[in-house]
A = this chain, B = another copy of it.
C-alpha cells in the first residue's frame, strides 16, 4: 500500500544550456515550469493525511522562490552546471528532502518514504526525479 499527495506550483525562469545536443536552446531563452511535488508514504498520520498539505505547499513555494523570475545562468548554485529540466527536478526534490529531514513538514514528515518532483516545460514535454527518504 502506498499513499501520495501532490501539490502544484510554477516558476518562470531564464537560462541557456551548454552542449550541441541542445540546438537552439543553447541561446538564452526561458521557460514556465509547472512544478508538481509528490510526497509518498506507506501510512497516514493521526489526522488521516500523508503530510500537512499547507506546510508542503509552503515548503515548495519557499524553495521555488529562490529560482522564480531569475536567470538561472547567474545563480551561484548552478555555476558550471546545465540547468536541464531533469537537474531542476532533482535540485527541487533534494531541497524538499532536506526540509523533511529537518522536520520542516512537522512530525508527519517522519513517515514519508519518497519525494518525486515533475517539471512540465510545455504541454508536450516534462521530466521527473524521485528520491527515497
Contact count band on A: 35 or more
* Interface contact B52-A21, CB-CB below 8 Å: yes
| Contact among B3, B29, B53 for A12, CB-based, below 8 A | B29
Interface string of A56-72 (1 = CB under 8 A from B): 00000000000011110
Known: A3-B90, A5-B127, A24-B69. A12 touches B34 (CB 8 A): no
Q: From residue A126, how far is it (CB to closest CB) to chain B in Å? A: 5
Residues of B within 8 A of A125 (CB): 5-8, 53
* Interface contact B86-A49, CB-CB below 8 Å: yes
When chains A and B are docked, how far (Å) is the Cα of A121 from the Cα of B78? 25
* Interface contact B47-A21, CB-CB below 8 Å: yes
* Interface contact B128-A3, CB-CB below 8 Å: yes
* Interface contact A71-B28, CB-CB below 8 Å: yes
When chains A and B are docked, how far (Å) is the Cα of A122 from the Cα of B87? 21
* Interface contact B86-A3, CB-CB below 8 Å: yes
Residues of B within 8 A of A9 (CB): 124
* Selected A-B contacts with CB under 8 Å, 12 pairs: A1-B90, A1-B131, A3-B90, A4-B128, A6-B125, A12-B121, A14-B15, A21-B47, A21-B52, A32-B32, A32-B33, A32-B121
